[in-house]
């Protein structure tokens, strides 16, 4: 019999990816695919098809862009064999699910299972219970597996492909913007009037902020001590996120308050996300298993 493909094997001495972590990533792939469909594709029907009503549709599409990027992130991560290549994507996901759990608990009355939404159909109510259950269970499961994964014998291989200085600086600058804006929106959602180019409710502001903070952390870690080989998956997902956000804006251009400077700053940052993600993707070496194929 042929041995397992090299891409699924950890080199000798490297900490391997646990099977349980791979299963969890598979579950998250399913969840992010569902989120992408419900929010990005069906952005205008959240009252009937999602856990809570999201207005305007551009907000739903923005959140769907995050889930689309998350889908790419976890699907590519599932092919890795060593934990060092998956740690950054998993930490990104973990930050998002924890922040989203807190936001859900704070705004639980907005979910469609409340008595005020009695007239809605079973799909909306089922989506509300599904959302609530997922974001209660998932953070706990991820925390347990993170602890177990870090205790697996082995070490991280040395970095062989350092991130270029220019790209590191660009990622650092983007990280600062994402973290500052994300923290402000999460802690004080009313700051959306100054920091966001369209109207957000407190609940959606906090979930938007969860994606900003998750990607902000990922870019900060990449800028600080990144290895292009290990960052390839995150760079691809980062590019996808920026592209999908641009597509969302093109779908609902009338929602953006183009007369405000913050709208153009938002556009500049989004384009920068696409460019830096694509630069990291292009600079990163191909996975060893594919290179030999």
Q: What's the pLDDT tens digit per position in 89-111?
A: 899 999 999 999 999 999 999 99
Structure tokens at 126: 């089922």
Comparison of pLDDT for 122 and 257, the residue scoring more: 257
Q: What percent of the chain has pLDDT over 70?
A: 90
- Over the stretch 240-256, which tens digit does the pLDDT of each residue have? 999 999 999 999 999 99
Question: 3 pLDDT exceeds 50?
Answer: no
- In this prediction, residue 5 has a pLDDT band, given cuts at 50, 70 and 90, of very low
**What is the rounded CA–CA span in Å between residue 52 and residue 114?**
10
Which pLDDT value is given to residue 115? 63
Q: Which pTM was predicted?
A: 0.89
CB proximity list for 64: less than 8 A, separation 6 or greater? 35, 36, 38, 39, 40, 41, 43, 244, 248
Domain ranges for the chain: 17-154+161-287
The pLDDT assigned to 9 comes to 46
- The whole-angstrom separation of Cα 83 and Cα 247 is 33
The alpha carbon of residue 139 and the mean position of all alpha carbons in its chain are separated, in whole angstroms, by: 14
Least confident of 20-24, 53-57, 196-200, 284-288: 284-288
Q: Are 292 and 3 in contact (CB under 8 A)?
A: no
pLDDT of amino acid 2:
45
Structure tokens at 74: 């976890």
For the segment 163-173, the average pLDDT, to the nearest whole number, is: 88
């Amino acid at each position: 019999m042929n041995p397992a493909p090299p891409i699924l094997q950890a080199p000798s001495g490297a900490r391997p990816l646990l099977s349980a972590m791979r299963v969890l990533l598979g579950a998250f792939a399913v969840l992010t695919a569902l989120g992408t469909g419900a929010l990005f594709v069906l952005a205008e029907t959240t009252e009937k098809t999602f856990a809570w009503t999201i207005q305007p549709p551009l907000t739903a599409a923005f959140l769907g862009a995050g889930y689309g990027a998350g889908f790419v992130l976890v699907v590519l991560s599932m092919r890795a064999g060593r934990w060092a290549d998956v740690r950054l994507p998993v930490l990104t996901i973990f930050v998002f699910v924890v922040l989203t759990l807190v936001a859900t608990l704070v705004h639980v009355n907005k979910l469609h299972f409340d008595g005020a939404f009695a007239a809605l159909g079973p799909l909306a109510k089922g989506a509300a219970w599904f959302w609530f259950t997922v974001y209660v269970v998932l953070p706990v499961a991820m925390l347990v597996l993170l602890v177990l994964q870090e205790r697996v014998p082995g070490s991280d291989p040395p970095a062989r492909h350092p991130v270029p200085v220019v790209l590191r600086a660009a990622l650092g600058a983007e990280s600062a913007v994402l973290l500052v804006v994300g923290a402000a929106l999460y802690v004080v959602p009313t700051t959306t009037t100054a920091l966001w180019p369209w109207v957000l409710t407190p609940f959606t502001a906090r979930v938007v902020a969860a994606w900003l903070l998750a990607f902000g952390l990922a870019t900060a870690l990449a800028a600080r001590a990144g290895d292009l080989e290990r960052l390839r998956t995150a760079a691809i997902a980062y590019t996808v996120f920026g592209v999908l956000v641009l597509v969302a804006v093109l779908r609902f251009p009338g929602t953006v308050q183009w007369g405000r400077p913050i709208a153009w700053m938002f556009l500049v940052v989004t384009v920068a996300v696409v460019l830096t993600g694509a630069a990291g993707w292009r600079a990163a070496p191909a996975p060893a298993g594919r290179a030999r194929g």
